[in-house]
């Protein structure tokens, strides 16, 4: 995994607890981190990944975690490989609960907000959980950002 954190554009997808996939309790974790020029690895991605895993374990949700998606990329990049795989897996029904360290990993720009909003509307239901408060906290999608988005209805 450490090699992934050392390369801008690096990504990783890991599947676990596949016996829980498709259940209403199944959960995915998406982590995004940047890689500043002065860092040898993405400290943000490592910190957010470990913090989210700790919160998930403390909340006794580790047995429901079916996939971990990690991108080392810009928050403005819509074509992040792990992000795209996460959306494909959600469309396939692997899980409908998504945990993110910060919701802005999903909607870092107007383009990404529109992309995720359209994806969100396609699903029958979806729970977004944030670990920002040190616990799994539900987030309502329309409240993620305060700016309007062209094309998102």
Which stretches of the chain are assigned E, i.e. beta strand? 11-15, 27-33, 65-72, 97-100, 127-130, 137-139
pTM as predicted: 0.88
Q: Where are the domains of the chain?
A: 2-141
Cα–chain center distance at 21: 17
Reply yes or no on whether the pLDDT at 131 is more than 60: yes
**CATH class as words, domain 2-141:** alpha beta
C-alpha span between 35 and 61 (Å, rounded) = 29
- pLDDT tens-digit readout, 11-20: 999 999 999 9
For every residue of 24-47, which 3-state class applies, written as one string? CCCEEEEEEECCCCCCCCCHHHHH
C-alpha span between 77 and 75 (Å, rounded) = 6
């Amino acid at each position: 995994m450490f090699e992934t954190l050392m390369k801008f554009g690096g990504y990783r997808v890991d599947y676990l607890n596949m016996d829980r996939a498709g259940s209403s309790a199944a959960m995915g974790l998406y982590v995004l981190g940047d890689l500043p020029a002065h860092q040898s690895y993405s400290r943000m991605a490592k910190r957010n990944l470990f913090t989210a895993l700790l919160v998930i374990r403390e909340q006794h949700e580790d047995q429901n975690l079916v996939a971990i998606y990690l991108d080392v990329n810009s928050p403005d990049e819509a074509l992040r490989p792990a992000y795209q795989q996460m959306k494909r897996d959600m469309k396939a029904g692997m899980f409908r609960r998504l945990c993110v360290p910060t919701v802005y990993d999903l909607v870092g720009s107007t383009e990404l907000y529109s992309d995720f909003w359209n994806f969100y509307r396609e699903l029958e239901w979806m729970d977004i959980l944030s670990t920002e408060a040190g616990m799994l906290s539900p987030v309502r999608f329309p409240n993620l950002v305060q700016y309007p988005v062209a094309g998102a209805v």
